A and B are shown apart, each in its own frame.
Chain A
Amino acid sequence: GAVVSQHPSRVICKSGTSVKIECRSLDFQATTMFWYRQFPKQSLMLMATSNEGSKATYEQGVEKDKFLINHASLTLSTLTVTSAHPEDSSFYICSAEDFNGDTDTQYFGPGTRLTVL
């Protein structure tokens, strides 16, 4: 099956710094990728839809200036958490959409755990 990687898997940073998370589709091209956030004991909440070559679409309540998304190629999307604060500590998971004939499937990365001190 299709493989999606994320880097880093875990990051600890000081409050006020910016953190970049990479999401890569390893064996397929993805014009669309999605970013989710999961707080402890909660489900995955969609943050934004990342489209290759165009601006991301953010869900209601997600600050686009704080969570910068860049989808510069068909295999890479990045999420930058700018001026991170402790309340941004969470598990960030990306997924990439693979079109295969008549169906399209979302494949998920392993997630990135962000801890802001």
Chain B
Amino acid sequence: KQEVTQIPAALSVPEGENLVLNCSFTDSAIYNLQWFRQDPGKGLTSLLLIQSSQREQTSGRLNASLDKSSGRSTLYIAASQPGDSATYLCAVREAGTALIFGKGTTLSVSS
């Protein structure tokens, strides 16, 4: 059964720092991997989706990489801002199934 792990569970950084969030999954036969942002008490905002054939995706200050063979993905946030404070969720999808989520990394960026 697919399991998704995110490290660290929480992270506090000063504004301006570059940071990396880690995600690992147990079964490498995935269809795609997606990173989401969730603000307290709110729904999900999709940040980046990487298809299984892709190695990375970029959107603004965000860059997500995927190494299927090792079962790992990273989300890189450049020049962090207080507005980036949120919980970041990694989720993987196998063909014909629903997304399976990790427990998330709660990020706090102080000004």
Contact = CB atoms under 8 A, between A and B. Distances in A.
Interface residues of A, number: 20
B100 A108 contact: no
Contact of A110 (B32, B34, B43): B43
B102 A49 contact: no
A67 interface: no
B101 interface: yes
The secondary structure that dominates the A interface is strand
Interface residues of B, number: 20
Contact of B42 (A44, A103, A111): A111
A113 B40 CA distance: 12
The secondary structure that dominates the B interface is strand
Interface string B66-105: 0000000000000000000000010101000011111110
30 contacts: A34-B98, A34-B99, A36-B101, A42-B103, A43-B102, A44-B44, A44-B101, A45-B101, A46-B98, A46-B99, A46-B100, A49-B98, A91-B41, A93-B43, A95-B98, A95-B99, A103-B32, A103-B51, A105-B32, A105-B49, A106-B34, A106-B98, A108-B36, A108-B43, A108-B44, A110-B42, A110-B43, A111-B42, A111-B43, A111-B44
Given A43-B104, A95-B99, 9 more contacts: A43-B89, A43-B102, A46-B99, A49-B98, A105-B49, A106-B98, A108-B46, A110-B43, A111-B44
